[in-house]
Amino acid sequence: MSKPTQGAQVSANVDESEIAKFSALASRWWDMEGEFKPLHQINPLRLDFIAQHSDGLFGKQIVDIGCGGGILAESMARQGAKVTGIDMARDSLEVAKLHGLESGIQVDYQLITAEDFAEQQGGQFDVVTCMEMLEHVPDPESIVKACAKLVKPGGQVFFSTLNRNIKSYLMAIVGAEYVLGLVPKGTHQHNKFIRPSELIGWIDNTPLLPRHMQGLHLNPLSGQYYLSDKNVDVNYLLHCTNTL
């Protein structure tokens, strides 16, 4: 994996073209039939996975890293969690805030990188979530480190991302972007996808301990998504506990 070049923008672990991509789509975050429809469809599954391994979300302090338009952040707050959502796409955060005003669900949204936030708020969170985000940044390992720093001793950290292999290329890029049109073309770059072994390698350099991993699958007949243990070939979720 190439390290980002040294320079003025490097301290922010951000890919400007990714920010531009999400900014252009910002207004569609809460369109249930729009570009982010798959995220709305998989959200109950992610929420359930996170709640299950956190022994419920009520009263928990949570930070959602790469919160986008707030789909996951808001659903966790709806379960009674105190949620902070951070992202580097200003337009997405504006949409998230506006939606929060409409739904009456309170989430604290902040424009800040995971690394900077970890400097300020280390060890403050019962639960840290970082979903569908690692494959969009130049240095994912740095994000993993920031997550480990943000979580309280004994707390839970959740990652989800896309595996890198022929099957994920066919399904997540060719299938989802070009054939089925589930997500806009150019949403993902296959070379930025992350193998579970790579993710676990980065996690092993932190006090986090991987505990549960499940694959996200789409039933092509019913159009329903589901989580299962059968494989983690394409989209997968990982639960870790802070051993400190």
Partner 1 sequence: MDGTAPINQDLVIVGGGTIGSLLALALADAGLKITVIEAKAYQASQNHPSFDGRTIALAYHSAQYLAKLGLSLDSSRYTPIRHIKVSDKGHLGQCSLDAKRLDVDALGLVVSQQQLGEDLHQALSGKAITWHCPDRVVSVEQQQEKVVLTLASGQTLHSRLLVIADGGDSPTAKLLGIQSRIQDYGQAALVANVEMDRPHQYVAHERFTPSGPLAILPLSERYGGLVWSLHADELDAYLQLDDVTFLQRLQQAFGYGLGRFVRVGIRAGYPLRLVTVGQSVHHRTVLLGNAAHTLHPIAGQGFNLGLRDVEALANLLQSGAQEEDIGRFQLLHRYHRQRIGDQQQVIGLTDTLVKTFSNDFLPLVVGRNLGLTLMSRCGPLSDGLAWRAMGKSAKEKSVAKL
Binding region for partner 1 (CB under 8 A) = 44, 48, 51-52, 55-59, 78-80, 104-105
173: which DSSP letter?
Answer: I
Taking the complex as a whole, the smallest distance from the CB of residue 71 to partner 1 amounts, in Å, to 12
Taking the complex as a whole, the smallest distance from the CB of residue 57 to partner 1 amounts, in Å, to 8
Pick between residue 197 and residue 222 the one whose CB is nearest to partner 1. 222
Pick between residue 44 and residue 123 the one whose CB is nearest to partner 1. 44
What H or E segment, with its residue span, contains residue 71? helix 71-78
**Rounded Cα–Cα distance for residues 184 and 101 (Å):** 28
| Inter-CA distances, 83 with 75, 129, 132, 234, Å | 10, 10, 18, 28
Taking the complex as a whole, the smallest distance from the CB of residue 135 to partner 1 amounts, in Å, to 28
Pick between residue 5 and residue 222 the one whose CB is nearest to partner 1. 222
Taking the complex as a whole, the smallest distance from the CB of residue 58 to partner 1 amounts, in Å, to 4
Pick between residue 44 and residue 154 the one whose CB is nearest to partner 1. 44
Helices 16-24 & 90-103 angle (0-180, nearest 10): 40
Cβ of 101: how many Cβ atoms within 10 Å? 9
